[in-house]
Structure 1
Amino acid sequence: MTSRLARAGLAALLAAGGLVAAQATGAQAIGAPVASARAAANPYERGPAPTTASIEATRGSYAVSQTTVSSVSVTGFGGGTVYYPTSTSDGTFGAVVISPGYTAYQSSIAWLGPRLASQGFVVFTIDTLTTLDQPDSRGRQLLAALDYLTQRSSVRTRIDGTRLGVMGHSMGGGGTLEAAKSRPSLQAAIPLTGWNLDTTWPEIQTPTLIVGADGDTIAPVATHSEPFYRSLPSTLDKAYLELRGATHFTPNSANTTIAKYSISWLKRFIDNDTRYEQFLCPLPQPSLSIAEYRGNCPHTS
């Protein structure tokens, strides 16, 4: 894990100076005011110092644009929508690909696109090859989408290819674990009420936040999220967030708790931004929205 951060740091230093990218074709502006560039001791830091209010807000400090990727223009996944910070003044950004669940389309997780992008990420919500794809296929599709995003997409010059993560709902959450297992260089993984018949993941080397729901009857935490979490290596930066009063489909609608901890996890591990450690350590306590939170603190990456 330390060597991965060292490689990422070297790549960022070589890339320093702020790349100016062409505006994506057909992009439309959405969201908040543009964040101003600022020098940072950590070259990956993006945006102002975070507060509880800023990570719970429906939009962060970056204005966001979006562009559609047609399924006929890609291979290995079903197309999707890219959301990205409009400004290029802060240089490149980390990137996250998000998969929907069984029988679902990207529209089911679309709320995460602008919400995460406005915090300083390039976010790709994808459709899968079919709505019935299983977790192993969805894992491969997440990686195919990451490769497209960083190598062929119209926003590729806005992305630091060493700072990548994956997320997914339900079978897309199961696919998130598959992707992290297949590609250890990923910096962050977040399965949302994930479903996978494989419940053991000792091979994963990517910092992983497992999100479950106390009222989930499709992927009950006792047979999915909790075993996923327990099977992750004890030396890994990992966390388990169980939502209170939530169901399997809670991640399909805008949710402050999911957003707050997803943003903090992605910032902490994709951007190595320790300003967000305060929201993850000490471990969050049970509340009206959190049934349980487990993890290892302080984080080592």
Structure 2
Amino acid sequence: MQQQARTGAAHRVPTGSPHRGRGRFAGLVTAIAAVVGLTTLGQPAAQAADNPYERGPAPTTSSIEAARGPYAVSQTTVSSTAVTGFGGGTIYYPTSTADGTFGAVAVVPGFTGTQSSISWLGPRLASQGFVVFTIDTTSTLDQPASRGRQLLAALDYLTGRSSVRARVDGTRLGVMGHSMGGGGSLEAAKTRPSLQAAVPLTPWNTDKTWPEVSTPTLIVGADGDTVAPVSSHAEPFYTSLPSSLDRAYLELNGASHSAPTSSNTTVAKYSVSWLKRFIDNDTRYEQFLCPLPSPSSTIEEYRGNCPHTS
């Protein structure tokens, strides 16, 4: 797939006609003063243009592959009896409030699963600068559409009633899920276009086409998945997304349907990069998404486009 080209504009300083004597000297002084003035004025302007949602130090391959990122993490349990519309869960969040608010992600498990199956993502993502809500569903047998509604209910609770709501930027939210929860994350993105990112993990759904989705979406499949084979789930989900969308398809090499249910460096690396790029608008993470990752011992295939620049 063709990748979007980046262009830059060259700036040329105009030169005036030469002057003699004092006129020439005065012109030179004026020009120097103008350049100095522009340089000085340009500094605050550049700072003002910096991304206000950027969190954490500049990333490296080591930092996004690490089991823990730069933030210390705290957690709090949410009882199922204290909420409606989903089954409670655990909120993981950066302990320090020095950096202000953070984007947030709700994560839902798959069919018959509980939050324990996706709990590793809680501290892993939170330590990179997100508030993460790993949830239980009202029934372990809930179908994808229900899981999508429960993801949205969890985000509404997180931003409106939770004990950490003051730490969350309610305009910067994303969803993730495994298996039927992955199908649920597509349902949530379809229902709520304001979501900034979706990451379905070895997703399963009877609905195979998602042209309505306008949320940047990274779909993770597994080449050895026999529960939700990529040929009938992850791949058609990806190809049905609008071609104009920021989208990507990552197929894990030598992996099964359950690969995202335990610590997985490849899943974490690209999930962090995707969430950072689209929830935090952090272009420092584009280096891990563009050029498109090549096949490797852990990646069977990667398709998509370089993130669009706004």
The one of 222, 231, 236 aligned to 2:240: 231
* Rounded Cα–Cα distance in structure 2 between residues aligned with 1:95 and 1:157: 12
Q: Find the counterpart in structure 2 of residue 277 from structure 1.
A: 286
Superposed CA deviations along residues 165-218 of structure 1, whole A, max 9, x for unmatched, are 000000000000000000000000000000000010000000000000000000
Say if 2:182 is the partner of 1:173: yes
Q: Find the counterpart in structure 2 of residue 188 from structure 1.
A: 197
Q: Find the counterpart in structure 1 of residue 258 from structure 2.
A: 249
Are the counterparts in 2 of residues 97 and 125 from structure 1 also a CA contact under 8 Å? yes
Quick one: structure 1 residues 298 and 135, their matched pair in 2 at CA, closer, same or farther if it must change by over 3 Å? closer
Structure 2 residue matching 1:173: 3-state secondary structure: helix
Quick one: structure 1 residues 40 and 65, their matched pair in 2 at CA, closer, same or farther if it must change by over 3 Å? farther
Q: Find the counterpart in structure 2 of residue 260 from structure 1.
A: 269
Quick one: structure 1 residues 239 and 75, their matched pair in 2 at CA, closer, same or farther if it must change by over 3 Å? same
* Rounded Cα–Cα distance in structure 2 between residues aligned with 1:300 and 1:231: 22
State the one-letter code of the partner of 2:159.
T
Aligned-pair identity in percent equals: 81
Q: CA deviation at 1:44?
A: 0.3
Structure 2 residue matching 1:154: 3-state secondary structure: coil
Quick one: structure 1 residues 134 and 90, their matched pair in 2 at CA, closer, same or farther if it must change by over 3 Å? same
Q: Find the counterpart in structure 2 of residue 205 from structure 1.
A: 214
The one of 134, 147, 162 aligned to 2:171: 162
State the one-letter code of the partner of 2:308.
H
Q: CA deviation at 1:39?
A: 9.5
* Rounded Cα–Cα distance in structure 2 between residues aligned with 1:87 and 1:65: 9
State the one-letter code of the partner of 1:271.
D
Say if 2:119 is the partner of 1:110: yes
Q: Find the counterpart in structure 1 of residue 51 from structure 2.
A: 42
Count of residue pairs the alignment pairs up: 264
Superposed CA deviations along residues 266-295 of structure 1, whole A, max 9, x for unmatched, are 000000000000000000000000000000
**TM-score scaled by length of structure 2:** 0.84
Q: CA deviation at 1:298?
A: 4.2
Of structures 1 and 2, the larger Rg is shown by: 2
- Unmatched segments (≥5 aa) in structure 1: 1-37
Structure 2 residue matching 1:96: 3-state secondary structure: strand
Are the counterparts in 2 of residues 237 and 300 from structure 1 also a CA contact under 8 Å? no
Quick one: structure 1 residues 107 and 295, their matched pair in 2 at CA, closer, same or farther if it must change by over 3 Å? same
- Unmatched segments (≥5 aa) in structure 2: 1-46
- What stretches of structure 1 move > 2 A for 4+ residues in a row? 298-301
